[in-house]
Each structure stands twice: as structure tokens, then as C-alpha cells.
Chain A
């Protein structure tokens, strides 16, 4: 799976489930400041990513990485590490 494939699937989630305007989604968009997700959305986003990419979050081990996941590119790196 290429980075572009992963970004495409994250974009789909952001558009379909979080109703984010497709035009403002860029790989380096800050999901909280620019795409206006909030802390509740971040919980739902992690569950959506788990379901989409077939991995499970370990809340103790992954907490630090999730806290620093701000952009789509950050999410790509995290997902690649989880499904490696």
C-alpha cells in the first residue's frame, strides 16, 4: 500500500464520516486546527482508522504517537508502523 493509497482512504473517512470539505484536505493539513476536528472526533477517528486498516490500538503503547498525530502525513506514518 503506497502513502497515496493510505492518504486517499483517510480522506474518504474525513469526508464521509466527519463531513470535512474535500477541497481543504491536504497531506500536511493539521486535522485539528485546519480541518476543525476536536477531541471527541479524535477518538472516533482512531476507531475509524482501526476499522479501515485492520489494526488495534494499544492505548498504553500508542498514546504518545497518537498525541503527536496532527496531520494526514503523521497518520500515514502511524498507520504504516501499525500494519508493518
Chain B
């Protein structure tokens, strides 16, 4: 069976920098940090939190811009999703007939449903002991597939809906599974990506397992520090990203602008530890992704790392990259030092940034990487911008639960 080529025909982003791809690209490529001190917001809720840094969305959302009919079942996670998807649909110029054709589906995940709505749900139940004190739409804000389900309703989509909820790997898996569906001809177009909102309980979860940064609370722009010897954990952020994947034939048929091509995907589980990344399984995942794309390590021009700034995770990823690529030639950088770890949105937002790097022939450095840690050495760390034509890129995305995901994208050549 011959597989369809899968291309990218639209992008949308809500990042800590603001709403829309232009503000995301502008501030990221200027090297700005979106990480801020959150003590005022978080200390009233949890009084023994150590991590007081976060990357919240800096721009207010005009929720009234979303019709109430759809908004009533959306918590913040789904609202962020709606904004990113709406932008991507416009970018790809998908009309109503295509959206409801049954040949267009959704692959969109997040770590959880809306944490803010979940808090309200349980607080009301515990305080009132009543099932009738909450609005009827709240369960749909809380459920794990809230993003995918709400998009389907808001845009009248009747194709497949899948919601990979694999924490920080959600959007990378969402893209990968959609890629395979289009490759195999099950759908022609997929709206893919992921989202997550920033909530104090998210920061607390990372804090609890000693994965949250806390030494830079008074100097937030200095953290997270991927691969750096002084890294002390990650910084949670929020956002949503959407890319439109489409079969090459569908894109050509409607004369869509083609922004890139997805050529490889692999995902696996470490089966080793719930919270720690594992070098062996990352090696397997990288090798499987290269195999799926029929590539050799030497064919890769750039690796966009997952590296979040945790002590163990960054070391495991560096080790795996070193073992698979077996040389120092491939530039490696992480984007977490700019806008934190946007969890379920991180894979797709970072992929959108990679597409801009391909477009501008510029590789962004790892922000806050001053001195590579001994255990992270042996790979080609990008510490200042590199002007280089990049055609083929590996994008890593890992998650709690021992989940690894690797995507490979390529500059599109007809």
C-alpha cells in the first residue's frame, strides 16, 4: 500500500507571549522571556509552594468573541484551543464545506481538562453537597477531551475525533496520530495540536516531584535553563497550538499554500519510571522515527529538544541524542528557556517555531544555556543563533508517564 504524503497547510498559536502566530514569532525571535514571578497569584492558594515562576498568557482574552452557544461548555483550556484552531483554519483557508465534509477530523489533546473548572466543580460539590449548584456546561469543560470535543461542536466537524491526553507529549502525539491517519487515507485533513492552561495545581504537581524551578523566583527570566549546569527544574506555562495536516493531494487540489511536510513519527513508553525520562527508550523512539522517515542520523539538520530544564530529563535526552547521532554535527536547542513549558501545547508550539526557523534559515539558541552541564555534553548545543539552511528537523517531546514522542518534519519539495 502506498502511503499519502502529509503536508502542513495552516498554523495557529496562543502562547504566553499573546494570541496569534505573529506575536509568538516576533517575541520569540527577539529572544524575550515570557517567564514571570507568580507569588502574588499562587501563594494565597498553596502556602508551601517553592516554585513561584510561571509563563501565563500575557494578553487578556475577549471570550465574548466566542458565541455563547459554544463558550458555555469551554473552560480556559478549550478557549485557548478555540483561538488557536480558529487562526489555523483561517490560515489554511478551510471553508465550511470542508470542515463538515467528514473527510476532516480532529486530533487534539491536553494534560487534563480545564483545571480552573475542575477546581470549581469539586469546591461547589464539597461546599454545597448539591448537584444543582453548577452550570450544566461545566462537565464538558472538565472532561479530558474537552478541547477536541469543543472544536468539533464549534466548527461543525464531522470526521474522526481523537484526543491523546499524554501530558506534555499530548500535542506531539496528536500530530503523529493524525499524520498516520492521513498517510493511510482515513482522513484528508486533520486539525492537530494541544493546549493546557496554567493553574497553581499544575505548578504544585511539578513542585511535588521536584521538577519545578524554584531558585530563580526573583529572577524569572533566568529560568528554565535547559542543559545548563545551574538548571533547577522547569517552569510551567500555558497556551495552545494548532497545525493543519493535509494529504498532499488534497492540498494541491484546492491550491493550498504548503508550509512544510511531516515525514516521520514514533512514540513509545519507557516502562521504567513514571516521572523520570529514560535514555534507552528515547534512543528507541529516535531510531523508530528515523526508520519511519527512511532517514539516517546524518540526514538530520537540526534537533529541537524537549529539554525542559530538569536535572534528570535533560541529561537523559542529551545522552540519547549523543548515542543516536554519534557525532557532534547536529545542532540541538530547546525553546523552554523562552516561554517555559507549555505542557500539552509545547510540542506543537515548538514545531511552529521550528517551521519559522526553516523559513528564515535561522536556528534559535537555547536561552539561559550559559554553561552546558557535564552530563549534557557531547552534543552540539546551540548557544547563539546560527544562520543555516535546515531542511530536515527532529522534534522531541516527552512526558510524565514515561511517554516519548519524536516527529520529523521537512521543508516541502514537490
Contact = CB atoms under 8 A, between A and B. Distances in A.
A34 to B, nearest CB: 14
B136 A18 contact: no
Interface string B110-150: 00000000000000000000001001110000000000000
B68 A40 contact: no
Nearest to A56: B132
A24 interface: no
A43 B136 contact: yes
Size bracket, chain A contacts: under 10
Contacts of B30: none
B69 interface: yes
Interface in A1-56: 18-19, 36, 38, 40-41, 43-44, 47
B72 interface: yes
Interface in B60-74: 68-69, 72-73
B122 to A, nearest CB: 19
Contacts of A44: 135-137
B137 A19 contact: no
Interface residues of B, number: 8
Given A18-B68, A19-B68, A40 B132 contact: no
A14 B73 CA distance: 18
A47 B137 contact: no
Contacts of A36: 69
A38 B136 CA distance: 11
Nearest to A19: B68
Contacts of B137: 40, 44
B132 A38 contact: no
9 contacts: A19-B68, A38-B69, A40-B72, A41-B72, A41-B136, A43-B136, A44-B136, A44-B137, A47-B132
Interface of B: 68-69, 72-73, 132, 135-137
Interface of A: 18-19, 36, 38, 40-41, 43-44, 47
Q: Top 5 nearest A-B pairs by Cβ distance?
A: A43-B136, A40-B136, A19-B68, A44-B136, A44-B135
